[in-house]
Amino acid sequence: MDTGSDLTFDALFGAVEQEWQDQALCAQTDPEAFFPEKGGSTREAKRICQACGVRDECLEFALEHDERFGIWGGLSERERRRLKKQIG
């Protein structure tokens, strides 16, 4: 059935995906805090994540896309790996 729309599922999904990223508090702060040097502090990034309204969406994105660097959804790469093992 032709709905007259040029939007594909992928385009619509991409737009929704981008919407949560636009709402993320990290988008309004220094990205360096979310990608610290090895051994650097993650405290500031995790503090920002705790107050973020799209933290769950961020974590879900990181888990689905196997993000290996940085703080996503308030968790480090090591913490995300541990979580993935726990949830299977």
Domain that holds residue 70: 9-87
The residue type found at 32 is E
52 marked ligand binding residue:
yes
76 marked ligand binding residue:
no
Mean pLDDT of the chain: 86
In whole angstroms, what is the distance from residue 14 CA to residue 62 CA? Answer: 15
58 marked ligand binding residue:
yes
In a domain, 3, yes or no: no
In a domain, 2, yes or no: no
Count of the separate structural domains present in the chain: 1
pLDDT tens column, 67-79: 999 999 999 999 9
Count of CB atoms situated within 10 Å of the CB of 76: 16
- The pTM (predicted TM-score) of the whole model is 0.77
In a domain, 1, yes or no: no
Percent of the chain having pLDDT more than 90? 68
83 marked ligand binding residue:
no
